[in-house]
Amino acid sequence: MSGIVSPTALDTTRINHQIRAKEVRVLGPEGENFGVLSLSEALGKAEEVGLDLIEISPNALPPVAKIMEYGKFQYEQQKKRRGIKAKSHVTETKSVQVKIGTGEHDLALKAKRAAEWLSEGHRVKVDLFLWGRYKYMEFGFLKERLELFLKLIPAEYKIADPIGKSPKGLSTTLERAKKN
């Protein structure tokens, strides 16, 4: 039985004599079900095999406790948390800015970068930056220029926000297309 308990584990998981329930449903070290036992009987079974009695489901009626080594239990919990953290993905909105005079090669590079971000699951905001007289050009022409850039993007995407005027000029937001 483990004598040392980390302070962070005390507030979440009860072991051995910290368990408050009168009766617990006991699972053995190999996953066998011992049924509902009094706390003293369950502690006795755990001591027989030299392991800890760990309350794994305190909200169940009666609470579920498992006979196992406390260090192994902590390791398994930590492994689960790491797995969950690895699967979670934070999406950001990345930004690509193009101008009317941007060269074809630069447009291709920016389109490739946007495709990478889309494949990573991020949203991509595309701005057609307008300055000076360009701000007063015909909307249809400017929209065409932005659509030409969007056609260069080699990834599949859907338009989240339609092309519209923005403080910088024209902008749109793209998202990765859902796979069927």
CA atoms within 13 A of residue 84's CA, in its CB half-sphere: 6
Among the candidates 52, 86, 120, a domain finishes at 86
Rounded CA separation 134/132 (Å): 5
What domain count does the chain have? Answer: 2
pLDDT at 22 over 50: yes
Residue range 28-67, pLDDT digits in tens: 888 889 889 899 999 998 999 899 999 988 888 889 999 9
Cβ neighbours of residue 143 closer than 8 Å, sequence gap 6 or more: 163, 170
Higher local confidence (pLDDT), 167 or 179 = 167
Same domain for 35 and 77? yes
pLDDT score recorded for residue 31: 82
Tell me if 1 is assigned to some domain: no
CATH number for the domain spanning 161: value is 3.30.110.10
Same domain for 104 and 51? no
Range of the structural domain that residue 128 is part of: 93-176
Rounded CA separation 150/159 (Å): 10
Share of the chain above pLDDT 70, in %: 92
Cβ neighbours of residue 125 closer than 8 Å, sequence gap 6 or more: 93, 94, 95, 96, 171, 172, 173, 174
**Partners of 96 in the beta sheet?**
126
Instruction: State pTM to two decimals.
Output: 0.53
